[in-house]
Amino acid sequence: MKLLEEKIRTEGEFLGNNILKVDSFLNHQIDTNFMQEIGKEFATHFKDKRITKVVTIESSGIAPAFATASLLKVPLLVFKKQTSKILDTNVYQTEVISYTKGTTYPLVVSKKFLDPSDSILIIDDFLANGEAASAVIRILQLVPAEIAGIGIVIEKSFQPGRKKLEQQGFEVYSLARISKLENNTIEFISQ
């Protein structure tokens, strides 16, 4: 998506450790018009996949996932980063290694919002090592719900996430694919 690449070039900040900051439009301040364009891209791409629900992880995936779900006219289900240690048999739970924090956190979702008849589209803001998406997939496989595809706003293609997900047989559709991220240099895989 050319406009996304342009925004990453002009507004993105490289923080080192392979981390890109895009908080002016994606995950701190949100460019709402632009988010609708992102939603359109995903909704158009996955329109024939009989999606019944869009899922994402709080909080930075919510804006693009909401825009997509709204256009597909399906609910958006937000997987929560758990803080309480109370055991609850009404939720699915798994552990995720956080890319940006380097720590592990429990991810939970209420069982009542997932059903084996669901065909799920997973949306997230970034793809790096594929840990967040893999955690969502582990939970969806417990249901078991069909996983129709994975939509990523910004993929860091020099990291192993895409390969990990494709090896499990999932389609990964990314709107921007970064092949190189170094001081003052950002390169994209042309699509």
Question: Where along the sequence are the contacts to ligand 5GP (CB under 6 A)?
Answer: 19-21, 27, 57, 60, 99-100, 124-132, 161
Q: Based on CB atoms, which residue is closest to ligand 5GP, 27 or 68?
A: 27
**Residue type for 126, please?**
F
- Is 31 in a helix, a strand, or coil? coil
Q: Are strands 146-156 and 172-182 parallel, antiparallel or unpaired?
A: parallel
Nearest distance, CB of residue 131 and ligand 5GP, angstroms: 4
| Tokens at 105, concatenated | 């956190």
The secondary structure element, H or E, covering residue 99 is none
3-state secondary structure of 164: helix
* Closest CB to ligand 5GP among residues 128, 140: 128
Q: Which is nearer to ligand 5GP, 112 or 187 (CB)?
A: 187
Smallest distance, ligand 5GP to C-beta of residue 30, A: 13
CB closer to ligand 5GP, 131 vs 171: 131
Minimum distance between the CB of residue 78 and ligand 5GP, rounded to whole angstroms? 12
**Shortest distance (Å) from residue 45 CB to ligand 5GP:** 20
Q: Which two tokens stand for residue 117?
A: 């008849």
For ligand 5GP, the closer of residues 35 and 128 by Cβ is: 128
Residue 127, classed as helix, strand or coil, is: strand
Among the listed residues 72, 82, 76, the one whose alpha carbon sits nearest the alpha carbon of residue 62: 76
Cβ within 8 Å of residue 71, ≥6 positions away: 39, 40, 43
Q: Shortest distance, CB of residue 90 to ligand 5GP, whole angstroms? A: 25
